[in-house]
Structure 1
């Protein structure tokens, strides 16, 4: 399906914070209760509607383990937005936020990358160890957006992604972001080139390509500006419902 803009997102944070569950809930509207380590990266895509324009979100969910850091660092480059995720029941995931944030900003080539701090698992209030006010204060100190979510109940999951997209869109509208520079993680689609729009509301348009269990992370050899193409061996096959979005 055609779109006006494509935004590249990255999801970062400690292992077990619920990054993959957030992505699955956002793209597929379902929750996976099991615990599977992300090996390398996972990819998801979804079309959303903003000011009568279709916006495609290309989302890369990274592994939280230290052993994959050298691979996942390459995905910081060319990201327009990022979700920095911690688990409100595990204070160590909150304590590590500064390291994740410093790494993201050090390896990103986009000084205008929009980052939202996401306190996940807010459905587990009885086990909360990180207060809402602590997350809010961290976000304010570092110039981040902030929200608490539950991938299990879907609370605020859509809002976490759309708030980042809305902020990016506002920066484009104000001229802060140069649309001609694809290395910033934004790509003009065919609808933008044609200057057209229709009144169709896109609520679905989601796809998720799961890369779990792979010992070699799918690091593409080529990129278009800052946007990472999906490797050929991971693209969807006819008759399947894996990935409908191929950028390359």
Structure 2
């Protein structure tokens, strides 16, 4: 890249509810942590290493599959195991997530938005994997639509 040229990249954080997506961003951007973060709507893949039934890890695997199937071949995928500070409550073992990441050629790092462990390193590692010469024209990405909520049969409207 030529000196002084700014490249813009989109970063999408995907993960189940309450895995720490917003907390990681706030920690990275403002170096702050709020114990009680308001939930955000929307969809790096983030799992909680203390997830009671590995639901967030299972969900992340399906996102990886979908991104690899339909996404840009140069997409950078990172799997972040957040809440690593809660070691006593761990349900997703580091080795299992790391092996999955290696098998799928994606970045893996355990993080803690609360203690700031590996938060900056995660975003730096993602940045280092971004294409050096991104395409000039911005393409429309494939749409990501959340699953439809089931409609109740009680009937107003």
Q: TM class by shorter-chain length?
A: 0.7 to 0.9
* Among candidates 69, 73, 92, match of residue 111 of structure 1: 73
- Deviations 1:189-228, CA, capped at 9 Å, x for gaps: xxxxxxxxxxxxxxxxxxxxxxxxxxxxxxxxxxxx459x
The question of 1:179 aligning with 2:134 is answered: yes
Partner residue, 1:132? 94
Runs (5+) with no aligned partner, structure 2: 142-157
CA distance in 2, matches of 1:119, 1:23: 14
Aligned residues: 136
Partner residue, 2:38? 36
The question of 1:93 aligning with 2:48 is answered: no
Q: TM-score, normalised by structure 1?
A: 0.51
Contact 2:23 2:113 in 1 (8 A): yes
CA distance in 2, matches of 1:28, 1:226: 30
Structure scoring higher RCO (CA < 8 A, sep ≥ 6) equals 1
CA distance in 2, matches of 1:103, 1:3: 32
SS in 1 for 2:92: coil
**Runs of 4+ in structure 1 over 4 Å off:** none
1:107 shift after superposition? 4.5
1:4 shift after superposition? 2.4
- CA RMSD in angstroms comes to 1.9
Q: TM-score, normalised by structure 2?
A: 0.78
